[in-house]
């Protein structure tokens, strides 16, 4: 077993901290690829080797992240083929071997904790029909040598194959081929345009995130930092890069909104914590994945076809509270101080008789379970003989 500082860690096991670090490594490597793509506009160097190395490294890190989550989920593994720890690919192979022997397969893997996400995929419409069956060669004699043409047969608009390639097909099939080619070109151009826009979106979002992270970690003033680097004043990039405005800028836009923003963030944080504490006491739904924090299943997007209406409503509420907390520029220290003030300033309990609490024997309903209203089933009474 591996030994660190005299402590041995069991093979084929993992910890939450290890999974967290692997996720962070994978995220930073993925972000680094977008930053390197942006560097091509800043330095006169050919960085293709660096981009390839980062791509391979991010793929390897993703395999390690998935393999660690597989171990955390308790996946059954075939006996190891070596005496030391297995590589991530060996973990997948051992699990597949165990599945082939009758063990249950684990397919639901948690995603990498990314901060910058892809743009929503638009509806490209139905893809043009592909050629039915295996595309055979043209076979028509060429004009120069007279040998059979080795090109593939063209595809018509109904998915059938023409009687030749684009050069040797009969004239009555050419209009159908031209219509199919126009549909393929238009559909491909739309897809490529979206991919190019998504790459630009990821690049600008990631660059802005890294600059902002650098200014915060090193204590730089944002305006002075971006001015020294020669970046635009707000680095807004036509609204594509998420840059937090400074507290002074926000107060300049709305001088009286500072306390309101702080209180809104405090209430969102308290409400979210209450929801998560409640969720920690419930049995997670069958669609929930293993989580790193108690009650964290509430923040996992449930499958719409596999979750009940109440479960979806709870998820939407928790996600909205999380978004409100993330969008408000309030530090954790300010948040805790304001929360303590709000709790201390809460009105005292009324002197009248309080509402009778629920019985300790009545548990909160699990997600998807109809509440019983605290009623216990009555005891059956035996008839006297």
Residue 219, phi-psi category: left (phi > 0), alpha (psi -120 to 50), beta (remainder): left
For the chain, percent of residues with pLDDT exceeding 70: 71
Task: Tell me the per-residue pLDDT of 88-104, one tens digit each, with 9 for 90 and over.
Answer: 999 999 999 999 999 89
Percentage of the chain beyond pLDDT 90 is 15
**pLDDT at residue number 263:** 76
Give the least confident one: 84-88, 130-134, 256-260, 351-355. 351-355
Residue range 121-162, pLDDT digits in tens: 887 777 787 777 777 888 888 888 888 888 888 888 888 888
Res. 189 pLDDT band, cuts 50 70 90: confident
Q: Are 149 and 165 in contact (CB under 8 A)?
A: yes
Q: What is the pLDDT of residues 206-226, one digit of tens each?
A: 988 888 888 888 887 777 887
pLDDT at 376 over 80: no
């Amino acid at each position: 077993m591996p030994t660190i500082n005299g402590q041995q860690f069991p093979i084929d096991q993992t910890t939450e901290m290890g999974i967290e670090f692997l996720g962070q490594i994978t995220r930073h490597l993925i972000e680094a690829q977008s930053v390197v793509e942006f560097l091509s506009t800043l330095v006169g160097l050919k960085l293709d080797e660096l981009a390839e190395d980062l791509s391979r490294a991010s793929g390897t890190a993703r395999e390690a992240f998935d393999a660690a989550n597989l171990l955390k989920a308790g996946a059954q593994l075939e006996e190891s083929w070596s005496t030391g720890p297995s590589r991530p690919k060996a973990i997948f192979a051992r699990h597949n071997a165990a599945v082939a022997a009758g063990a249950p397969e684990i397919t639901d893997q948690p995603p990498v904790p990314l901060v910058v996400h892809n743009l929503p995929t638009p509806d490209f419409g139905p893809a043009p029909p592909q050629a039915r069956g295996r595309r055979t060669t043209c076979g028509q004699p060429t004009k120069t040598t007279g040998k059979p043409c080795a090109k593939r047969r063209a595809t018509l608009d109904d998915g059938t194959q023409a009687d030749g390639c684009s050069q040797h097909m009969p004239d009555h099939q050419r209009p159908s081929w031209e219509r199919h080619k126009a549909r393929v070109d238009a559909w491909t151009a739309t897809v490529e345009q979206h991919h190019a826009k998504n790459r630009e979106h990821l690049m600008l979002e990631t660059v802005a995130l890294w600059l902002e992270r650098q200014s915060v970690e090193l204590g730089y003033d944002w305006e002075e930092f971006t001015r020294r680097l020669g970046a635009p004043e707000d680095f807004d990039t036509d609204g594509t890069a998420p840059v937090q405005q400074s507290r002074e800028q926000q107060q300049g836009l709305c001088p009286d909104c500072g306390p309101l923003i702080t209180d809104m963030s405090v209430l969102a944080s308290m409400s979210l914590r209450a929801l998560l504490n409640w969720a920690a006491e419930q049995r997670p739904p069958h669609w929930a994945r293993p989580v790193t924090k108690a009650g964290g299943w509430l923040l996992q997007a449930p499958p719409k076809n596999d979750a009940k209406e109440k479960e979806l409503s709870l998820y939407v509420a928790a996600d909205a509270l999380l978004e409100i907390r993330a969008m408000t520029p309030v530090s954790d220290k300010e948040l805790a101080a304001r929360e303590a003030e709000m709790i201390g300033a809460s009105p005292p309990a009324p002197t009248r008789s309080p509402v009778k609490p629920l019985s300790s024997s009545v548990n909160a309903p699990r997600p998807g379970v109809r509440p019983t209203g605290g009623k216990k089933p009555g005891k059956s009474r035996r008839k006297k003989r």
